[in-house]
Chain A
Amino acid sequence: MQLPSLAFLAWTILFAPLVSTLGILLVGLRRPKFSHSIAIASMVTGFLASVYLFIRLLGSPGSVGSQGHGEHPFLEHAISWISLHGLQLEVGVAIDPLSVLMSLVVTGVGSVIFIYSAGYMSEEPSYSRYFAGLSLFAFSMLGIVLANNLVMLFMFWELVGVSSYLLIGFWYQKPSAAEAGRKAFMVNRVADFGFMIGILMLWTVSGATGQERTFNFAELADRIHELAAAQALPYAALSFAGAFLFCGVVGKSAQFPLHVWLPDAMEGPTPVSALIHAATMVAAGVYLIGRCFFLYADLPDLLTLIAYVGGFTAIFTASIAIVQNDIKRILAYSTLSQLGYMVMALGLGGYSAGIFHLATHAFFKALLFLGAGCMIHALHTNDIWEMGGLIKSMKVTSWTFLIGTAALCGIWPLSGFWSKDEILALAFHQDKFLWAIGSLTAMMTAFYMGRLCFAAIFGKPRGHGHSQEAPAVMTGPLVFLAILSVIGGFLGIPRFIHHPRAMHVEFDLGVALISTLCAVIGLGSAWRLYGKPSDLPVRLRASFRWLYSLLANKYYVDEIYAWLIRNVHDRIARLCALFERYVIMRFCVNGIAVTTRAAGSVLRMIQTGKVQTYALALFAGLLLILSWMMVGIHP
């Protein structure tokens, strides 16, 4: 039997979710069973195909990092999309360790979350629309992951934004959800403004070798190497291109200052938050840096900037998470902070460290969100202070949630420990300041997660709702993700994901001990404050009132943006509208009309139809001519 070709498999991974979307839209809108079956089947198909590709990739000698510059995909298959004089656009898939790992994560975590959704959304009237949206998202996300060129990546990047918009605003009748969807889309649009410029700049740079310009990743990498080897690298242009591309990352991966959309995106259904706004879509930005690492590796200054943006985002958002009360918002700020870690890792040149953390984070953050979903589902509240005592009533949820928490806090030997440690070790050897920030963030992470767990899971039940364990369709995914969160560190991801230009550091026991210490301090102080009833939190809040309100109001970033939109953006628009109305319409256009009419009414007097007037004019004219002639006669 002949095995299907690898390219065919890659296309299958990409298009299976699209088939599902179209199938649901065409025939499944009133058939919930059909909808979830086809959606889940498409994801599982993709996952199996990804696993097969993974095995083939492992088994192929010399595929990882030894061909050429080590940046050539193991397999690439493309078809021409637009062919013009001086511009060739393709649609193609590229298979290399990075894309295979990402598609494993997307389809793997995706399958689990799809299954969970079947339980979570079971009472939703628009059940099919939900699965259509999820499938569309999966299609778009896999497009980003598998794309072999920048334009295709950008297209799917935008589509991801659309599906995110549709899913955040899934309950569109709720004003807050509708608003959140719009905000997410707009913030990403602003970021993609920069991304697009970056693409165009990179396109121009790619022509510097004298060949036809290209968007293809492998060719771009080749050309940059060629230029670098010939000492002809247009450094400034390339830096700008890289910086503009990074704008896209800042938007999609919600880095400061465009992080504001992600917490609001929690208005969407919880599985959506888990899949899109924690595990996969927001990681697309991190993936983009990885995909364009050939570019960034040559731009050390830019990398430093990226590392600092990431580091700042990490600590900035972690501090906000400390005072939030909504369980999903805490997790959202935590996601922001972890994304900051990943960006920081890549900024430090830690290609494998960043992608490793992306993968482990996808496991445990999806787990935490799904767990939170179970709690919300059972208690009908998002407020952690209305939960409590769940460890007794919701055993599976609570325990898996605790595993996720431990992984997030970086407790040995869970997956988060390994990936976080790799980042911190990297920082320790390069930039002690960033390392300090990272460690402090780790402490804060442990603290807010501890606070969340002590409030929601331990203690006495406070809510009025009756908590009951979720059905197996929901707890099964939790267990599966919990297992991944535990063993994720031992899967050999950092060895699989490798880049020849990446920084790499060995395991550092000292750094590991310090970061574990940080986690323990964080958890310990959370226990001291919230582990048992005490008035310490209230007293602390009272004595640091300004700090508390600063954090609770998220550093007023939203307010600043709102002010800017109201006072700058809206005013410019209104000014233009006024200009249009008064200058163009009233003054110019109607002005001409009025002038014409006025001229008409003046000229009308010439032709009154009265003989007397004509006679008068005749005589006046005659008089005028005569007097003029007289002037000529008299000396």
Chain B
Amino acid sequence: MTPWVMLSPFIGAIAMLLTPSTQKDWIRRIAVGAASVSLAVAVWMFLNYDRSAGGYQFITEVPWIPALGVSFQAGVDGISVILTLLHAVCAFAGVLVSYSIKERVKEYFIFYLLLIAGVFGVFTSLDVFFFYFFYEMAVIPMFPLIGIWGSKDIKDYATMKLTLYLTAGAVLALIGLLALYFLTDLHTFNLIKLEEVLSHKPLPAEVQYWLFPFLLIGFGVIAPMWPFHSWSPIGHAAAPAPVSMLHAGVLMKLGSYAILRLGFGLLPQGAYAWMPLVAALCMMNILYGGLVALAQKDSKFMVGYSSSSHMGYVLLGIASMTPAAMNGAVLLMFAHGVMTALAFALIGHIYDQTHSRTLSDWGGLAQKIPFVSACFVIAAMASSGVPGFGNFVAEFLVMIGAWEPYPWHAVGAILGVVITATYMLGAIRTGFFGPLNPKWENLRDARTPFERLPYLFLIIVLLALGCWPGPFIDTIQTGTQTLLNRVGAAQTIAKAHKESTES
């Protein structure tokens, strides 16, 4: 079952190749169909995931290069089933928002579906080789998507920067992964097997200690961990709205997901040793990122820096290594993904008509486009951690989980919420409230139900997450608990080792 989430957009892309580029409607329909199938499969997996059993489920394995121990293996655990669902939600909304793309529709949707397929591949791969393959596959379509359909003023710089950053990070991670492959000496990329063996016979502590930073920084670039974050806001700003949606909504989560899946899963002791540093760095994400967002005048840059600020909460949750914080981190990946996708979609709606991203240039839009404005207020509220939306639950869990291991960090995180509210309300105040800027007299609201669908869909998901987080957390818990147990075991081993050397 699992591979179908990924295969559906892939097949969609192939089908588009065979469709003449003049048939724009058909191309769009194929895209919507492919995304809907993925969404249906993702929802099905989420609903049917056996929470009492936990572990990897819905596993499909196809051997590929037996000599190297490479096989295509797909499956999900409590964490990835949630993230697959997130991606399916964002991709579905993104495809609908992509109706606003009018140029080179065919090429656009092919790249877009490849991007979607790649990200699904990362979330569902249980083989390190394919994990990496899909990771690169997800990054590459970004280049044309921003380079061709992006905002004219900044797209060249943004594209180069984004690609270089992500590739550099990927190379670093690759070194770490290859080292892992050779050091384990199992001749397999099979993640389940690797995890199983390593949990019984972990790598020596020193090895883990030196190997972990490769994965941490390599994947941390996309997370985006401070100070490697500067590719992301400009990347968001330059990309067309549907691409920003996936980019900020899902792509950034690949980093923290990889740190969890590979870093914590395979190198728990290394993770344990390096997490205090991550906790310190993510404070820079939260506070510094928030303050930079505060000083932005460009709406997309603001949301971009806001994203990097909020990903700091995810990192803090991971670094705290307590059940509440870890679950909060994964839940926040979901909630923030949906919220930020909503925000970028809305900004896109406005940008398409005004060709301006500057907040002070907008002014009083709520009078002209009440629906879009109301949705933006909702997105801003969700982002500011207003209860009722998933972000609140997730951030609250992170704070409460971080409170005991890192009380000062938790205080910083709470302060971050205040900063978020400052810039978000500031954006509403300058962009949407107040007297209408006469330039925008002819602005068009999202009027038809079809136009409104992606926004409403994302809002409903956010509300469901915020009001009824139980099923999500119960699912996530099965995945995080395994990781925490592994870290706990690693700690015990380390302690025993230390005591034996001392005596």
Interface residues of A (CB under 8 A from B): 80-87, 151, 154-156, 158-159, 162, 165, 169, 172-175, 178-179, 182, 185-186, 189-190, 193, 196-197, 200, 203-204, 570, 572-574, 576-577, 580, 584-585, 588-589
Is the pair A189, B417 in contact by a Cβ cutoff of 8 Å?
A: yes
Tell me the minimal C-beta distance from B351 to chain A in angstroms. Answer: 22
With a CB–CB cut-off of 8 A, which chain B residues contact A200?
Answer: 399-400, 403, 410
Q: A84 is contacted by which of B292, B323, B415, B435 (Cβ under 8 Å)?
A: B323
Top 9 A-B residue pairs of the complex, sorted by shortest distance between their CB atoms: A577-B295, A178-B433, A155-B387, A576-B291, A573-B294, A172-B433, A573-B295, A85-B323, A573-B291
A51 to B459, CA, bound (A): 37
Tell me the residues in window 393-438 of chain B with beta carbons closer than 8 Å to chain A beta carbons: 393, 396-397, 399-401, 403-404, 410-411, 414-415, 417-418, 421-422, 425-426, 428-429, 432-436
The DSSP consensus for interface residues of chain B is helix
Is the pair B477, A204 in contact by a Cβ cutoff of 8 Å?
A: no
Quick one: given A173-B436, A185-B421, A186-B421, are A576 and B292 in contact (CB under 8 Å)? yes
A4 to B291, CA, bound (A): 53
With a CB–CB cut-off of 8 A, which chain B residues contact A182?
Answer: 425-426, 428-429
Is the pair B392, A155 in contact by a Cβ cutoff of 8 Å?
A: yes
Is the pair B393, A190 in contact by a Cβ cutoff of 8 Å?
A: no
A203 to B404, CA, bound (A): 10
Interface check B161, CB cutoff 8 A: yes
Quick one: given A81-B469, A173-B435, A585-B230, are A185 and B425 in contact (CB under 8 Å)? yes
Interface check B204, CB cutoff 8 A: no
With a CB–CB cut-off of 8 A, which chain A residues contact B292?
Answer: 573, 576-577, 580
Tell me the minimal C-beta distance from A475 to chain B in angstroms. Answer: 34
Is the pair A190, B288 in contact by a Cβ cutoff of 8 Å?
A: no
Tell me the minimal C-beta distance from B350 to chain A in angstroms. Answer: 17
Is the pair A82, B436 in contact by a Cβ cutoff of 8 Å?
A: no
B469 nearest CB neighbor, chain A only: A82
Is the pair B230, A173 in contact by a Cβ cutoff of 8 Å?
A: no
Is the pair A589, B386 in contact by a Cβ cutoff of 8 Å?
A: no
With a CB–CB cut-off of 8 A, which chain A residues contact B269?
Answer: none
Is the pair B425, A84 in contact by a Cβ cutoff of 8 Å?
A: no
Interface check B93, CB cutoff 8 A: no
Tell me the minimal C-beta distance from B211 to chain A in angstroms. Answer: 24
Tell me the minimal C-beta distance from A369 to chain B in angstroms. Answer: 24
Is the pair B295, A574 in contact by a Cβ cutoff of 8 Å?
A: yes
Quick one: given A82-B393, A576-B292, are A162 and B227 in contact (CB under 8 Å)? no
Interface residues of B (CB under 8 A from A): 161, 227, 230, 288, 291-292, 294-296, 322-324, 327, 364, 366-367, 381, 384-388, 392-393, 396-397, 399-401, 403-404, 410-411, 414-415, 417-418, 421-422, 425-426, 428-429, 432-436, 469-470, 473-474, 477, 481
Quick one: given A189-B417, A197-B414, A577-B292, are A172 and B230 in contact (CB under 8 Å)? no
With a CB–CB cut-off of 8 A, which chain B residues contact A83?
Answer: 470, 473-474
Quick one: given A186-B421, A186-B425, A203-B400, are A84 and B291 in contact (CB under 8 Å)? no
A87 to B473, CA, bound (A): 12
Tell me the minimal C-beta distance from A260 to chain B in angstroms. Answer: 16
With a CB–CB cut-off of 8 A, which chain A residues contact B381?
Answer: 162
B414 nearest CB neighbor, chain A only: A196
Q: B386 is contacted by which of A81, A159, A179, A196 (Cβ under 8 Å)?
A: A159
With a CB–CB cut-off of 8 A, which chain B residues contact A159?
Answer: 386-388
Is the pair A584, B324 in contact by a Cβ cutoff of 8 Å?
A: no
B436 nearest CB neighbor, chain A only: A173
Tell me the minimal C-beta distance from A68 to chain B in angstroms. Answer: 28
Is the pair B387, A156 in contact by a Cβ cutoff of 8 Å?
A: yes
Is the pair A589, B470 in contact by a Cβ cutoff of 8 Å?
A: no
A417 to B477, CA, bound (A): 57
Is the pair B404, A204 in contact by a Cβ cutoff of 8 Å?
A: yes
With a CB–CB cut-off of 8 A, which chain B residues contact A179?
Answer: 429
Is the pair B367, A173 in contact by a Cβ cutoff of 8 Å?
A: yes
A85 to B414, CA, bound (A): 22
A572 to B161, CA, bound (A): 27
A178 to B430, CA, bound (A): 9
- Give 12 pairs: A residue, B residue, CB < 8 Å, sorted on A: A84-B397, A86-B322, A87-B401, A158-B386, A173-B433, A175-B433, A182-B426, A189-B421, A203-B403, A573-B294, A576-B294, A588-B227
With a CB–CB cut-off of 8 A, which chain A residues contact B411?
Answer: 197
With a CB–CB cut-off of 8 A, which chain A residues contact B296?
Answer: 577
Tell me the minimal C-beta distance from B402 to chain A in angstroms. Answer: 10
Quick one: given A577-B296, A585-B230, are A193 and B418 in contact (CB under 8 Å)? yes
The DSSP consensus for interface residues of chain A is helix
Q: B481 is contacted by which of A85, A185, A589 (Cβ under 8 Å)?
A: A85
A555 to B314, CA, bound (A): 43
Given A169-B433, A172-B366, list of 5 further CB < 8 A pairs?
A81-B470, A84-B327, A87-B401, A193-B417, A573-B291
A85 to B322, CA, bound (A): 9
A174 to B400, CA, bound (A): 39
With a CB–CB cut-off of 8 A, which chain A residues contact B230?
Answer: 580, 584-585, 589
With a CB–CB cut-off of 8 A, which chain B residues contact A576?
Answer: 288, 291-292, 294-295
Is the pair B429, A82 in contact by a Cβ cutoff of 8 Å?
A: no
A585 to B301, CA, bound (A): 14
A175 to B436, CA, bound (A): 11
Q: B414 is contacted by which of A81, A155, A193 (Cβ under 8 Å)?
A: A193
Which has the most chain B C-beta neighbours within 10 Å: A81, A162, A172, A197? A172
Is the pair B387, A80 in contact by a Cβ cutoff of 8 Å?
A: no
Tell me the minimal C-beta distance from A458 to chain B in angstroms. Answer: 39
Is the pair A82, B400 in contact by a Cβ cutoff of 8 Å?
A: no
Quick one: given A85-B323, A200-B403, A576-B292, are A172 and B432 in contact (CB under 8 Å)? yes
Tell me the minimal C-beta distance from A354 to chain B in angstroms. Answer: 27
Is the pair B473, A82 in contact by a Cβ cutoff of 8 Å?
A: yes
Tell me the minimal C-beta distance from B364 to chain A in angstroms. Answer: 6
A343 to B381, CA, bound (A): 30
With a CB–CB cut-off of 8 A, which chain A residues contact B474?
Answer: 83
A554 to B139, CA, bound (A): 57
Is the pair A86, B227 in contact by a Cβ cutoff of 8 Å?
A: no
With a CB–CB cut-off of 8 A, which chain A residues contact B367?
Answer: 173
With a CB–CB cut-off of 8 A, which chain B residues contact A570?
Answer: 295
A87 to B227, CA, bound (A): 33
Is the pair B323, A178 in contact by a Cβ cutoff of 8 Å?
A: no
With a CB–CB cut-off of 8 A, which chain B residues contact A82?
Answer: 393, 397, 469-470, 473
With a CB–CB cut-off of 8 A, which chain A residues contact B433?
Answer: 169, 172-173, 175, 178
B435 nearest CB neighbor, chain A only: A173
A580 to B120, CA, bound (A): 33
A381 to B294, CA, bound (A): 37
Q: A196 is contacted by which of B295, B399, B421 (Cβ under 8 Å)?
A: B399
With a CB–CB cut-off of 8 A, which chain B residues contact A190?
Answer: 418
Tell me the minimal C-beta distance from A86 to chain B in angstroms. Answer: 6
With a CB–CB cut-off of 8 A, which chain A residues contact B436?
Answer: 173
A573 to B422, CA, bound (A): 11
A117 to B261, CA, bound (A): 56
B295 nearest CB neighbor, chain A only: A577
With a CB–CB cut-off of 8 A, which chain A residues contact B294?
Answer: 573, 576
B287 nearest CB neighbor, chain A only: A576
Tell me the minimal C-beta distance from A329 to chain B in angstroms. Answer: 22
Which has the most chain B C-beta neighbours within 10 Å: A156, A190, A197, A204? A197
With a CB–CB cut-off of 8 A, which chain A residues contact B364?
Answer: 173
With a CB–CB cut-off of 8 A, which chain A residues contact B470?
Answer: 80-83
Is the pair A193, B415 in contact by a Cβ cutoff of 8 Å?
A: yes
Tell me the minimal C-beta distance from A589 to chain B in angstroms. Answer: 6
B416 nearest CB neighbor, chain A only: A193
A281 to B224, CA, bound (A): 40
A585 nearest CB neighbor, chain B only: B230
Tell me the minimal C-beta distance from A27 to chain B in angstroms. Answer: 15
Tell me the minimal C-beta distance from A623 to chain B in angstroms. Answer: 40
A583 nearest CB neighbor, chain B only: B227
With a CB–CB cut-off of 8 A, which chain A residues contact B386?
Answer: 158-159, 162
With a CB–CB cut-off of 8 A, which chain B residues contact A151?
Answer: 396
B432 nearest CB neighbor, chain A only: A172
Quick one: given A173-B364, A186-B422, are A87 and B295 in contact (CB under 8 Å)? no
Q: A175 is contacted by which of B387, B392, B435 (Cβ under 8 Å)?
A: B435
